Amino acid sequence: MRRRLGWGFWLALGWIALVLAGAAAADLLPLPRYDETLAGPPQSGPGPDHPFGTDGLGRDVLSRVVYGARVSLGVGVGAVVLGLLIGAPLGVLAGYRRRATDAVIMGFNDVALAFPALVFALAVVAFAGASLVNVLIVLGVLGVPAWVRLVRGATMVFSEREFVAAARVLGARDRTVLWREIVPNVSLPVASYAFIGMAVAIVAEGSLAFLGLSVQAPTPTWGGLINEGRPLMENAPHVVLVPSVVMFLTVLAFNLLGDRLRALTDVRQSGLEPVRRRRADRLPAQPHHVEEGVLLQVADLRTHFTTVRGTVRAVDGVSFTLERGRTLAIVGESGSGKSMLIRSILGLAPDAGTLRGGSVYLDGQDLTELDGEQLRRILGTRLAAVFQDPMTALNPVRTIGAQVMEPLTVHLGMKRGAARARAAELLASVGIPEPARALRRYPHQLSGGMRQRVTIAMALSCGPDVLFADEPTTALDVTVQDQVLRLIRRQREERHMAVVLVSHDLSVVAEWADEVIVMYAGKVVERGPAATLFERTRMPYTEALLRAVPKLTDPAHHPLRLLPGRPPDLAAPPSGCAFHPRCPYARERCTQEEPPLFQAEVPDHLYACWYPVGTGAGVVETSGISGTAEALKAAETTGADETTDAIEGADSRGR
Amino acid sequence: MILRLVRLLLVLLVVTFLSYLLLNLLPGDPTTQILGLSASEEAREQLRRELSLDDPLFTRYLAWLGELVAGDLGTSYTTSVPVTEALAERLPVTLELLVAAQLVALGLALPIGVAAARRAGRPLDQVLTALSFGLLSTPVFVLGVLLILVFAVKWQVLPATGWTPISLDLGWNLTSVLLPAVTLGCAQTAVYARLLRTDLIATLQEDYITLARARGLSPRRILWRHALRPSAISLVTAVGLNLGALIGGAVIIETLFGLPGVGRLIVDSIFARDYLTVQGGVVLISVGYVLVNFAVDLVYVAVDPRIRRA
């Protein structure tokens, strides 16, 4: 992807070109010489003869600044070139050879970095004499450690890339590999740092000159000019201001060039970062009725992100209901929108560039209508969440106790002592041995399984009505997985709460869930009671997921059966049914029309497919017919009781 | 830990050796450089013996190192004051300046970094980021000159030069350290604020922050209790690593503001050709720098429980 350098880059480049040209052509410019005294009246301000005024001896300030640029830029460029000449070969060597060579070079480098550079430069110049050559050498050499580190890092990155490995395998000699493959790739970070290095060297030379320890008078230097102008500050501030501003602009310009170039090498941007919007827009939602006596109702929930590449429909019209004591499982591949659905329900989806729609009702109260404070009260006490990775779910620098006690003191208003006792009880209830001791420990001192127990204890601390568990066992050992799931089920039964379990592991779902939702590209593609859904699968995607489940009969280290094809690009989803490019049964119609949710023969079993599996509809020749009525007809030909019914969210939202 | 100590000793040896080598950089006969052209042959001979100039370099270094450990850095030939004594007299000023500058830098960087991170990408963040970038590009003497111009010359609210020791008058002492400390701290402010912003933005995206929100904790509580502590740890490291830049800046600041610190002593001694004092000052600063970095490593271990027992 091409990225722009921005106008700042060109402005900075223009300024540096101007200063460079002025310094190079100083003798040709219509300026008084820098050392010509009484070129004008002393200490006179800017005027037509002297655009930047004159100094205490009546010398032209502009001329002195222009000539001073020779030393500043000369040292800046020279020191960088010198540092690069010494540092780059060492860095490439260390990064490419690794092992002993690397250890020795980096050992020296670390020691060298342990020096206060400017003080050493000062001392060396003081002892060896203040001259252009000495200043240049000292600043160049002091820059070497930074160059070694940078070039080594860049070399390491590229020498691990495929094309370099390939070249090596093909028997290319090291030198050839270095010149052809590594040097061109390392040059962009080097160029970026070269500009920053020049800024550093110019400031360092300026500092020495300011102290009177750089090139000696009468040759003007910027630092020297600033020092000279100090005593005149009261009567003729321009004498000190002009070189100060010029120096500032030049250093800023070099830093900017380096910064913009470095931004070019920054590969973290994918084009899917949310774009900020002026205000949070709300997406229109389908009309729905609020069901009574239902604990949790999600109605046509949508979360879209505006990105550079287009709108990403991460959650797109999801509806379901959940009652106390039940477990609802949400399954689908990574990137199907499961986790974002959970975050959207809890109001935790990122703010930036987000469009929301639909509602979440808890006992009939719409959570999406609440303000931050009201929502927080409900989040802390009635809804709770457990995430996939227990390694990142706990704050690494706070004790377990501080973290478990926090919701108790914040939401339940417990005193510290009571909260501590309750926290210990909670930890004991999730099976953590020696809970009082565990409270004093830090997360890294516990195993993954223990940490997940802690996060569950925290989630349960205020007695929630619904527990959202986002792949709670994926990051755990198989033996621990079962314990954690048992724990969640026992808590569900004891507390009579509802559980929303996100998983991509269908064997887990089959064992633990009452109802199942299958998601694909942010949408519900099949939904129903667990047993029905697995026995009478209708959606080919669900069928493919079921086939991908590893079996005990698989040989050890057998590669996982993967679904064919790639998950869809959410910024540009396929037309019609989003699954059609990967679907073995896809027909013409699937590529054009998005299937609504149809009602299957078992109550509450819904699927979004024109040619559902196991009904015969898939094999009926239906080319040429289109529309819901035809699908209904096709479905009716296979099952007597089948009533096909497009329900909520089933309008043609496809493209 | 033992590895750290060995490395510390190694670095200290290299640093002192290089400081010692400085004398060998003097062009021509060092005795002439130190005593001047008019010195008698006997005086030179005596100096030659005192500095053991006829011994091999490494022997000389070891002898010098022995005296250094005993606290003897020689006696200045220009002022006849023992170097250690001169340094000890100046050190408190430099230390106060450094501490005050760090306080200014951290005091400004904390709110700036937090404000920018909380509004990442929005106008306030962009303004603060641009400001930091500009501040980073301002040489410390340029900033100092500008601040003097505004506060001392134009508004005349703060003294441009001079120093009042704490022992004399605390109020005046603080007045005299304020402008230098702000000048020196400003550039560090930019460094710290940028670092804190980047780190905080990354921390705020961690799972444990999302989960803290899922537990219904207030944004303020999450920021101060949950996010800031991990980020503050990176800041501690940066404070140590930036000490080198700060010490270099202190030399300039002390000269610019006329503060009687170690940096000023070094610069004055350079012009007075008082080489032993210069050498002593360089040794003091480099050894101090290395030791402080070592201490920061230890603090880092203490603050971050993740590596405490690693």
pLDDT value for B246: 85
Confirm or reject CATH 1.10.3720.10 for domain A10-33+67-266, answering yes or no: yes
Half-sphere exposure of A83 (CA within 13 A, CB side): 32
pLDDT of residue A298: 93
Under DSSP, the state recorded for B153 is I
Residue A630 tokens, joined: 């035809």
B63 three-state secondary structure: helix
Positive or negative, the Cα torsion across A342, A347, A353, A356?
positive
pLDDT in tens, A297-317: 999 999 988 887 888 888 988
Instruction: Answer whether A116 sits within 8 Å of B244, measured CB to CB.
Output: yes
Q: Which CA distances in Å does B284 have to A382, B239, B289? A: 62, 20, 8
How far apart are the C-alpha atoms of A197 and A191, rounded to whole Å?
A: 10
Residue of B nearest to A467 (CA): B214
Residue B222: closest CA among B207, B235, B237, B233: B207
pLDDT at residue A644 above 50? no
Residue B22 is nearest to which of A124, A229, A233, comparing CB atoms? A124
| Interval A573-629: pLDDT, tens | 888 899 999 888 888 999 999 999 999 888 889 999 999 887 765 444 333 333 344
Q: Is the pLDDT assigned to residue A89 strictly greater than 80?
A: yes
Interface touch A407/B215, C-beta < 8 Å: yes
CB A526 within 8 A of CB A541: yes
Contact B215 A406 (CB under 8 A): yes
Say yes or no for a CB contact (<8 Å) between B252 and A379.
Answer: no
Q: Nearest by CB to A199, which of B15, B137, B211? A: B137
Using an 8 Å CB-CB cutoff, list chain B residues near A380.
Answer: 215-217
Q: For residues A567 and A333, give the distance between their C-alpha atoms in angstroms, rounded to a whole number.
A: 8
Determine what percent of chain A is predicted with pLDDT higher than 70. Answer: 87
Count CB-CB contacts under 10 A for residue A425. 12
* CB < 8 Å to A389, chain B: 207
Select the residue from B208, B221, B294, B297 to test the A interface by mutation, using most A Cβ atoms within 10 A.
Answer: B208
The mean per-residue pLDDT over the stretch A167-186 comes to 72
Could you state, in order of their start, the residue ranges of all structural domains in chain A? 10-33+67-266, 290-513, 534-648
Q: How far apart are CA A336 and CA A321, in angstroms?
A: 20
The answer, yes or no, to whether residue A516 has pLDDT greater than 90, is yes
* Residue range A122-140, pLDDT digits in tens: 888 888 888 899 999 999 9
Residue B17, token pair as written in the block: 């050796």
Is residue A234 within 8 A of residue B152, CB to CB? The reply is no
Contact A524, A601 (CB under 8 A): no
pLDDT for A551 equals: 64
Nearest to B238 by CA among B197, B180, B286, B278: B197
Average pLDDT value for residue range A33-59: 84
Residues A469-491, mean pLDDT to the nearest whole number: 83
Average pLDDT over residues A420-426: 93
Q: Which residue of A has its CA nearest to B203?
A: A395
Our CA-based measurement puts residue B225 at a distance from the nearest CA of chain A, in whole angstroms, of 9
8 Å CB contact of A129 and B27: yes
Which of B15, B139, B289 is opposite residue A207, by nearest beta carbon? B139
Interior angle at CA A471, CA A469 and CA A477, nearest 5: 120
Per-residue pLDDT reduced to its tens digit, A489-501? 888 998 889 999 9
Q: A115-152 in b/e burial notation, b at 16+ Cβ within 10 A?
A: bbbbbbbbbbbbbbebebebbbbbbbbbbbbbbbbbbb
Q: What is the rounded average pLDDT for all residues in chain A?
A: 83
- Say yes or no to pLDDT of A287 above 80: no
- The contacts of residue A393 (CB under 8 Å, 6+ apart) are A386, A387, A451, A452, A455, B207, B208, B211
Mutate to test the interface with A, among B141, B224, B225 (most CBs of A within 10 A): B141
A115, A206, A385: residue with CB nearest B286: A115
Q: Which of B211, B251, B256 should we substitute to test contact with A (largest number of A Cβ atoms within 10 Å)? A: B211
**Which whole number is the average pLDDT over A453-479?**
87
Select from A228, A375, A397 the residue whose CB has the most chain B CBs within 10 Å, as the one to mutate to test that interface.
Answer: A397
Q: Residue A273 pLDDT more than 70?
A: no
Is it the case that residue A342 has pLDDT exceeding 50? yes
Within B119-242, residue ranges assigned H as helices are 123-136, 140-147, 170-204, 207-214, 219-221, 228-241
Which one has a higher pLDDT value, A185 or A235? Answer: A235
Kindly list the distances between the CA atom of residue A497 and the CA atoms of A150, A324, A384, in Å, as whole numbers in the listed order.
55, 5, 11
Amino acid at B32: T
Look at A111 and B218 and tell me if their CB atoms are within 8 Å. no
| B211, B219, B306 member nearest A393 (Cβ) | B211
Q: State mean pLDDT over A280-308.
A: 83
Residue of B nearest to A372 (CA): B218
ipTM above 0.85, yes or no: yes
Nearest of A5, A598, A653 to residue A357 by alpha carbon: A653
Residue listed under structure tokens 């040794």? B283
The reported pLDDT for the residue numbered A625 is 35
* pLDDT band with cut points at 50, 70 and 90 for residue A557: low
pLDDT number for residue A629: 40
Place of tokens 């921390």: B203
Residue among A207, A213, A248 minimizing CB distance to B138: A248
Query: A529 pairs with which residues across the strands?
Result: A515
Q: Is the pLDDT of residue A451 over 80?
A: yes
Whether residues B139 and A444 touch (CB distance < 8 A) is answered with: no
Residue A95, pLDDT above cutoff 90: no
Give domain A290-513's CATH architecture: 3-Layer(aba) Sandwich (3.40)
Three-state SS at B117: helix
Reported pTM: 0.81
Q: Is the pLDDT of residue A642 over 50?
A: no
DSSP secondary structure string for all residues of A23-48: HHTGGGSS---TT-TTSSSTT--S-S
Q: With CB atoms and an 8 Å threshold, state whether B221 touches A410.
A: yes
d(CA B44, CA B34): 9
Q: What is the pLDDT of residue A103?
A: 82
Under an 8 A CB cutoff, do B153 and A114 touch? Answer: no
B15, B33, B145: best mutation site toward chain A, by most A Cβ within 10 Å? B145
pLDDT at A617: 57
Nearest to B207 among A241, A372, A393 (CB): A393
Collapsing DSSP to helix, strand or coil, A96 comes out as helix
Name the closest residue on chain A to residue B207, using Cα atoms: A393
A vs B, Cβ pairs < 8 A, gives: 200
In this prediction, residue A440 carries a pLDDT of 93
Q: State whether A398 and B229 contact (CB < 8 Å).
A: yes
The shortest CB-CB distance from B145 to any of A115, A226, A411 is to: A226
pLDDT at residue A645 above 60? no
Q: Which of A111, A116, A227 is the closest to B10 by Cβ?
A: A111
List of long-range contacts for B288-292, beta carbons under 8 Å, 24+ apart? B288/B247, B289/A114, B289/A115, B289/A116, B289/B243, B289/B244, B289/B247, B290/A114, B290/B8, B290/B11, B290/B12, B290/B15, B291/B8, B292/B240, B292/B243
For residue B14, the SS3 value is helix
pLDDT one-digit tens code per residue, A199-251: 999 999 999 999 998 888 788 999 999 999 988 888 888 999 999 999 999 99
Enumerate the residues of chain A whose CB falls inside 8 A of the CB of residue B14: 111
List chain B residues with pLDDT less than 70: 305-310
| Helical residues (DSSP H) of A442-477, grouped into ranges | 448-460
